[in-house]
């Protein structure tokens, strides 16, 4: 499964305004709700914030990947946002975050969840890809960039 298989224009935001990490995560979950795949939004919030308590999902290079697992979804749920202004996400490198990729997996699809987290991290680790994302102005452009970048990957 590719990242572009779980993203749609409706769950991509190019100018997300958030003043802090908590607000950003809540807005990402709201955005993911537009997918129609969430059964219980509060359960999704709980699993994401519980995971975030363990260690920040601000993984570095201006990128965060809040995630969690719950069976209160119909299928893998995602959302992607470029923040209007970078925010403190308690990232491991101390840098503010400009990109957030939310991923919610089902308890029964752990292997797929881990593979998607790995693929997202690999992609977002590329300086050139992040630079291209910053130049986008629409969710359609963002989705097209993900599809273009993933053409080089073998499907997992």
Task: Show which residues are catalytic.
Answer: 67
123-145 b/e with 16+ CB inside 10 Å = b? bbeeeebbeebeebeebeebbeb
Separation between Cα atoms, residue 43 and residue 70, nearest integer Å: 7
Separation between Cα atoms, residue 23 and residue 18, nearest integer Å: 6
Could you tell me which of 3, 6, 1, 10 has the C-alpha nearest to residue 140?
10
**Residue 132 CB contacts under 8 Å (≥ 6 apart), including other chains:** 145
DSSP state of 35: T
């Amino acid at each position: 499964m590719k990242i572009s298989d779980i993203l749609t224009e409706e769950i991509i935001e190019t100018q997300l305004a958030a003043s802090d990490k908590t607000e950003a995560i809540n807005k990402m979950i709201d955005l993911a709700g537009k997918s129609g795949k969430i059964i219980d939004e509060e359960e999704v919030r709980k699993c994401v914030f519980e995971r975030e308590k363990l260690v920040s999902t601000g993984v570095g290079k201006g990128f965060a990947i809040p995630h969690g697992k719950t069976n209160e979804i119909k299928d893998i749920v995602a959302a992607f946002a470029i923040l209007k202004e970078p925010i403190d996400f308690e990232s491991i490198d101390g840098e503010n975050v400009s990109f957030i990729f939310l991923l919610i997996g089902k308890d029964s699809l752990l292997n797929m969840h881990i593979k998607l987290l790995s693929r997202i991290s690999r992609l977002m680790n590329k300086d050139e890809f992040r630079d291209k994302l910053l130049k986008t102005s629409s969710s359609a452009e963002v989705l097209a960039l993900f599809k273009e970048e993933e053409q080089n990957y073998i499907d997992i």
